[in-house]
Amino acid sequence: MDTSLLATIVLIGGFFLLMMIRVPITFALLISTLGSALISGTNLSVMVNQMVQGANNFSLLAIPFFILMGEIMAEGGMSEKIVDLANLAVGRFRGGLAYVNVMDSMFFGGISGSAVADVSSLGSIVIPMMKKQGYKPEFAVGLTVVTACQGVLIPPSHNMVIYALAAGGGVTVGNMLIAGLLPGVMLGTGLMILCFFLANHYHFPKGEAGAYKGRGWSIILNAIAPMMIFVIIMGGVAAGVFTATESSAIACVYTFIITYFLFRSAKLRNFGHVLRRSLKTLAIVMTLIATAKAFAYMMTDLRIPAQITAALLAVTHNKIMLLLLINVLLLVLGCFMDMAPLIMIMTPILLPVVTSPAIGMHPVHFGVMLIFNLAVGLCTPPVGSALYVGCAVGKTSLEETSKAMLPMYAAMVAVLMLVTFVPAISLWLPGLL
């Protein structure tokens, strides 16, 4: 057997085999990469160098700040202020808590930048509220999980940082952060439209019109401070005052000040626990990035991206069919793998395909489409991390919750198709700025 073919089989086949026997994904990437390198004769020092280069990137400094910022907000209970603001705005309507669920994820997603953070912090507040008002537990959990996916699109999102790194020098972190804003808002709008029809069909309960009587201005003022984090990140990057990395650091310091000194909603003596949780999450993300970088290098060395490009173009040269095939591929992969390694692995494979003359897609547009697809994977079994967290928080079964989410999946895919085939949705804001 040809050495190159055997190395390819070990790299790809070995990776999926290790995944099937439940080897942690970092080790699956590392073992399959080292095995392939040994067979192909690639110097192992090159692999080590690739891993170091994968983690040694200035843009990646934004990730620990975003993670720490989300942990500080969760510790300080900032999600309660966001829920109150959303409830004040739309809680009075029929199905009001369903709208609140969508809106608070839209607000909080623009602050935490993490779907799992949204589900764990907001879900612990909104899911019991929805259950108490008479919503089915599976619907409450499902809606919380799906709406949390806005967090990986609406800035700040550390997944946008990872994509900018994987795509090379042609894509800036700032452009990616800004590009995800409109698709994230569109996802929230689509889910609110779905909730409107479901509310009338299933006669969802109405909210209490006077629940916040006399407290309106107090709720708004309390929510302004957390919402300013979004303004700092987006405003600073858009105005060119500072880079995405600098904005993440400034926003992190600001979050620390408002949590521990303005609202005093968390105790400084517990800050060590916040740092430990942040470090644990960061260690997972950075080791995934490092090993995925070496894996991607081996794929490039074995010319796997070029072969996949040729195979896809051999199937069809029709732009619409190619984009549909890529979407289906990403949706399927997202059901079985976490987002960060998929971004690092699939970007060097698919970016040459979508930027080829047959499709002519802008790299920023593709990045948003890629992350949107993988966001759907966060809430689909069998590996959807946000789905598992939601079921744990809401104490529901995976099977019943997934069944209740079927209309929500349809809404997500509908918005995904708009993002895929209407480039202006992703490129309009970066073009303006």
The rounded distance, in Å, linking the Cα atoms of 245 and 267 is 27
Q: Whole-angstrom Cα distance, residue 311 to residue 350?
A: 12
Return the pLDDT at 19: 82
Reported pTM: 0.85
The token duo for 161 is: 């940082």
Q: State the pLDDT at residue 230.
A: 79
CA dist 148 and 102 (Å) reads 8
- At 411 the pLDDT is 94
Residue 265, pLDDT score? 82
Give the helix ranges, DSSP H, for 134-243.
Answer: 137-148, 158-166, 173-179, 181-202, 216-239
pLDDT at residue 32 in the model: 92
According to the model, what pLDDT value does residue 111 have?
Answer: 66
Helices 158-166 and 363-377 cross at an angle (nearest 10°) of 130
Q: What is the DSSP string of 124-155?
A: HHHHHHHHHHT--HHHHHHHHHHHHGGGGTSS
pLDDT computed for residue 356 by the predictor: 84
d(CA 167, CA 295): 15
Dihedral of CA 255/147/127/390: which sign? Answer: negative
Please give the pLDDT value at position 317: 80
pLDDT at res. 229: 83
Could you read off the pLDDT tens digit of each residue along the chain, which spans 433 residues? 678 889 989 998 998 899 888 888 889 889 999 999 999 888 888 888 988 888 887 778 888 888 888 888 878 877 778 777 877 777 677 778 888 888 888 887 766 667 777 787 778 888 888 888 888 999 999 999 999 888 889 888 888 989 998 887 778 888 898 999 999 999 999 999 999 888 877 777 776 655 566 677 888 888 888 888 878 877 777 777 777 788 888 988 998 999 899 888 888 898 999 999 889 888 888 888 888 888 888 988 888 877 877 887 788 888 999 999 999 989 888 887 878 888 988 898 899 889 888 889 999 999 999 999 999 988 888 777 788 888 888 888 888 898 999 999 999 999 999 999 999 999 999 888 7
pLDDT, residue 368, reads 96
Angle between helices 216-239 and 78-90 in degrees, nearest 10: 110
Contacts (Cβ under 8 Å, ≥6 apart) of 266: 72, 75, 76, 77, 259, 260, 274
**What length does the chain have?**
433
